[in-house]
């Protein structure tokens, strides 16, 4: 509970909270020039205490930036994992914040950011409305749009379709890879970047967007599409013939709310094709939902501990396998320095239970859990609420998980894979090649029956 002071009484209200593991892409955290863009979360209902001023100060707080500042203070006061608040006098900080005058929300936002910075935790962060909107899209693994992947063609500098998503309005309308988008709702795209084009295409479900398309074999034409709620793919998979081996290669990009069901589909469809083993690629995966990581771990693990979380009061929540693994075929997991958070939970559980061989480089090292709240003005707040530990109980924060087999990639190889991601999971990918070599050395039973539950 929050202690009462002389000016305020407190009451409980229900607010929307989001529990997640990664509140920014570790790439952008390490490389400051990159904008942090990816967020992963799951919506829950949680009680928080919010201050209600007495009559002498009520008018000053209602509908003011000061109310937002105090809203943030209250949530941090109730949830932040460090009850010492990094040696900040948190009660005094509140009085200091409320004594200031804020002429607009920008000043309030600046005060909030500085206050959170004093906590010394890079994952406790304030999100402006646009950032929070991006978070909710990533949280659900969905967005309102037409289901299309875009790029800027290097040779023509034109906005170009990479591919339409399966069962999306774009696919149903016949949009094809390689199509050039010349206009979006009559706005020329020649000077748009990917983010600007995406903003123009996104909109409310049921509304229309008009694209002017150029296709090599026909004249320029218009396509009118109706926006739908689009499920974003988190999992990609292929069947690779590697000598005598049939290998199921699965790339997991993030732990969204749809990741587990997509992973189950990938395991089942690959298993139905009589594979010899799996390669699970977690490289570049910044993390995601706690329960998504646990659920996916259970698909690979028949028994054993997965992860435990410890909150500010010492409460310890433990997650274990539930005896419902989908496969026991040999497994190699690929990781790198950008495999973070929920990726580290999955990799750590599979490694420490000796279910998989982990290949690559040391992981990012993020051992904390965040809660994200929507605020009254549409902005958001991420607060670190717990620490997590792999089955061994070791603290991986800022340390990461070391692979069983270290395989470094040269700068040239990294650039090649970044420029052409289709090379991932091929013979042009040194870490994947090492994974195949490991599978070839393991005792494989290509005829083993697999039960999918």
| Catalytic residue from among 257, 292, 341, 371 | 341
- Contact assessment for residue 79 and residue 48, using Cβ atoms and an 8 Å cutoff: yes
Cα 197 from Cα 152, distance rounded (Å): 10
Q: How many CB atoms lie within 10 A of CB 441?
A: 10
Distance in Å from the first CA to the final CA of the chain: 44
Is residue 223 classed exposed, middle or buried when 0-12, 13-18 and 19+ CB atoms within 10 A define those classes? middle
**Is 313 among the catalytic positions?**
no
Tokens 């074999």 identify what position? 217
Enumerate the H helices of 118-184 as residue ranges.
129-140, 169-172
Cα 93 from Cα 148, distance rounded (Å): 47
Cα 299 from Cα 328, distance rounded (Å): 9
| Catalytic residue from among 66, 251, 366, 434 | 366
**Is 410 among the catalytic positions?**
no
- List the one residue out of 284, 277, 328, 291 whose CA is nearest residue 438: 277
- Could you give the dihedral angle defined by the CA atoms of residues 426, 431, 433 and 434, in that order, rounded to the nearest 10 degrees? -160
- List the one residue out of 265, 267, 263 whose CA is nearest residue 285: 263
Catalytic residues: 341, 366
């Amino acid at each position: 509970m929050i202690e009462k002071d002389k000016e305020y009484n407190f009451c409980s209200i229900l607010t929307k909270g989001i529990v997640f593991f990664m509140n920014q892409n570790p790439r952008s955290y390490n490389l400051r020039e990159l904008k942090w863009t990816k967020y992963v979360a799951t919506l829950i209902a949680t009680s928080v205490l919010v201050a209600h001023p007495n009559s002498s100060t009520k008018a000053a707080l209602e509908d003011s930036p000061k109310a937002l500042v105090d809203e943030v203070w209250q949530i941090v006061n109730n949830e932040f994992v460090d009850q010492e608040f990094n040696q900040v006098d948190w009660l005094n900080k509140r009085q200091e914040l409320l004594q200031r005058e804020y002429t607009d929300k920008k000043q309030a936002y600046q005060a909030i950011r500085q206050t959170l910075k004093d906590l010394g935790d890079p994952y406790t962060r304030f999100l402006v409305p646009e950032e929070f909107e991006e978070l909710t899209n990533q949280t659900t693994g969905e967005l309102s749009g037409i289901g299309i992947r875009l790029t800027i063609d290097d040779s023509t500098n034109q906005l170009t379709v990479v591919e339409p998503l399966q069962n999306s309005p774009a696919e149903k309308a016949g949009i094809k890879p390689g199509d050039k988008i010349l206009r979006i709702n009559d706005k020329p795209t020649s000077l748009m970047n990917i983010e600007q084009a995406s903003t123009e295409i996104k909109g409310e479900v049921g509304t229309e967007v008009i694209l002017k398309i150029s296709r090599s074999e026909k004249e320029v034409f218009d396509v009118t599409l109706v926006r739908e709620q689009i499920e974003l793919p988190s999992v990609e998979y292929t069947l690779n013939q590697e000598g005598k081996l049939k290998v199921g290669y699965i790339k997991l990009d993030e732990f969204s709310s749809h990741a587990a069901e997509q992973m189950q589909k990938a395991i089942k469809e690959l298993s139905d094709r009589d594979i010899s083993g799996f390669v699970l690629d977690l490289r570049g995966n910044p993390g995601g939902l706690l329960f998504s990581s646990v659920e996916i771990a259970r698909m690979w693990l028949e028994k054993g501990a997965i992860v435990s979380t410890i909150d500010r009061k010492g409460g310890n929540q433990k997650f274990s396998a539930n005896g419902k693994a989908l496969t026991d075929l040999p497994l190699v997991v690929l990781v790198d320095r950008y495999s973070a958070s929920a990726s580290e939970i999955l990799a750590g559980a599979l490694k420490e239970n000796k279910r998989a061989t982990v290949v690559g480089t040391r992981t990012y090292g993020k051992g904390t859990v965040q809660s994200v709240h929507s605020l009254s003005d549409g902005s958001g707040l991420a607060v670190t609420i717990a620490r997590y530990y792999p089955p061994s109980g070791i603290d991986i924060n800022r340390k990461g998980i070391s692979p069983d087999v270290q395989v470094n990639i040269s700068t040239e190889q990294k650039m090649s894979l970044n420029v052409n991601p289709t090379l991932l999971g091929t013979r042009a990918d040194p870490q994947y090649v090492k994974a195949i070599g490991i599978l070839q050395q393991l005792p494989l039973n290509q005829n083993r029956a697999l039960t999918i539950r």
